[in-house]
Amino acid sequence: MYWTLELASKIEDAPWPATKEELLDYANRIGAPMEVIENLQEIEDDDEVYDSIEDLWPDYPTKEDFFFDEEEY
């Protein structure tokens, strides 16, 4: 399983918290790329509930990672 920023962004707006099956259903409904669906299928624990994309990809960048100071603009 591998994630890129582009792939992970496809399910960032999923209805969190969600199980593996709910994420797969969401990815199929929005027409996510096959790589996203394959990544979700590789999740081993079917019953675990994921609270956000960070539960699937702990290194998912957040706004803080971009060092953008919104007060400057």
pTM given for the model: 0.80
Q: Is residue 68 part of a domain?
A: no
Which amino acid would we find at residue 68?
F
Domains identified in the chain, total number: 1
Q: Does residue 64 lie in a domain region?
A: no
Q: 38 in a domain, yes or no?
A: yes
Is residue 6 a part of any domain in this protein? yes
The model's pLDDT over 41-53, given as tens digits with 9 standing for 90+, comes to: 999 887 899 999 9
Has residue 72 been placed in a domain? no
- Asked, for residue 70, whether it belongs to a domain, the answer is no
The answer to whether position 48 is within a domain reads yes
14-73, pLDDT tens digit by residue?
Answer: 999 999 999 999 999 999 999 999 999 999 887 899 999 989 888 877 656 555 556 665
3-state secondary structure at position 40? helix
In a domain, 11, yes or no: yes
Angle at 38 between CA 37 and CA 41, to 5 degrees: 85
